[in-house]
Amino acid sequence: MNNDFEIAIVGGGIMGLSIAYNLAKLGVTNTVVLEKSYLASGASGRNGGGIRQQWTTKTNIELMKQSMDRCDSFAGELGVNVWLRQGGYLFLARSQAHVDKLEKSVKLQRDAGLPTRLEKGSYAKKIVPGINTNGVLACAYNPTDGVIFPWPFLWGYSEKYCELGGEVRLRCEVTRIERKSEGFALDTTSGKVNCKRLINACGAWSPEIAALLHVDLPTHPIRHQICSSEPLKACLEPLVSDLQAGLYFSQSMRGEIVGGINLKDEPHTTEMKSSLSFLREYARALTRVMPGYQSLKVLRQWSGPYDHSPDGNPILGEHPDCKDFFLCNGFVGHGFMMAPIVGELYAKHLAKSETHQIFSDFRYARFSENSSVALETFNIG
């Protein structure tokens, strides 16, 4: 078994697999992805599957336009059906502050060529039958946003990457990293691995890997909970988000209502436990928006950790004080939907030295340099 690689990627989530696959497409196949558990065991397999272009910064809007294009062609390129359904995203605003935020973001989105529109709150009834718009001042709707099924996304990347010559090692936890004159020596639960370049793509677990190299990564996990209901007849086209409550919900291809809510004081932990308080707050917020769901039965509840950075933006590129150690962390709750384009740009960055603007904007050094990066404020759903 080969244990000497050009690039080792720690973390077999969507971001690590996307980088690996895109590297293989460019001919860089002497790579390995090290996953401590099984595919879809972490946050990538525990999210709601929402993919949207409605953001509040130009950078994220442009990234997601490109990422949506990749999602649309994913089945044809990789031969895996991810059940992409572009039913749109519908944001509800109940305060003037949220209306003002929507006005600014919709302008940015329309300037970028998206069909997003801002309407009065009552307009939501035309899109979602049975919705309660009492107290809703305005709503923003983009019909080209959508939802996918997360697991096939990971499997598709993994299978195609391996077909191109790459390797994925499951149940392979990195326990020690030694810095060599050229590259790194990794101790894992499956033996030794040597690499010239190392990528940390572990999401909320990234600080643990960085610490093995005595690197302080200023990110932290926050638990995010989701649940799924019994299946209903098809009745909900868009993913709906109530900004005031921090609520979001959509309907899967099988009919389940899948949703979550941002709770205050969620623990900073990677432990994936569920709570009764989540169900209580989610049920209150959901039935406020959709009174017809009052008798809805919840069949499954789970959680996964968001990967938070100090300014809510990702950390990308080579660490300034640790040569050949590359970071891909801090995406909060939108790393999954951005992985197709970020993985492509990262692969070009590594294989061709093509440096996209995101590697400058989201560099690690910005925290010590006190440089200003536009703050993303739509980290919901």
Distance CA 355, CA 358 (A): 8
Q: Rounded to 5 degrees, what are φ and ψ at 243?
A: -65, -40
Q: pLDDT tens digits, residue range 73-118?
A: 988 898 888 889 999 999 999 999 999 999 999 999 999 999 999 9
**Predicted pLDDT of residue 44:** 94
Distance CA 336, CA 326 (A): 19
Is the pLDDT at 300 greater than 80, yes or no? yes
Q: pLDDT tens digits, residue range 163-193?
A: 999 999 999 999 999 999 999 999 999 999 9
- Structural domain 85-145+220-308, CATH architecture: 2-Layer Sandwich (3.30)
**Residues comprising the chain, all counted:** 381
Instruction: Give the residue with greater pLDDT, 380 vs 224.
Output: 224
Per-position DSSP letters for 123-142, written without gaps between them: GHHHHSTT---TT--EEEEE
The domain made up of 4-46+151-219+310-369 has a fold known as FAD/NAD(P)-binding domain (3.50.50)
Distance CA 30, CA 53 (A): 34
Distance CA 303, CA 71 (A): 24
**Predicted pLDDT of residue 347:** 98
Determine the distance from the C-alpha atom of residue 167 to the mean position of all C-alpha atoms in its chain, rounded to a whole number.
23
Regarding pTM above 0.75, the answer is: yes
Is the pLDDT at 27 greater than 90, yes or no? yes
Please, which pLDDT band fits residue 209 given cuts at 50, 70 and 90?
very high
Distance CA 187, CA 175 (A): 6
Distance CA 101, CA 110 (A): 14
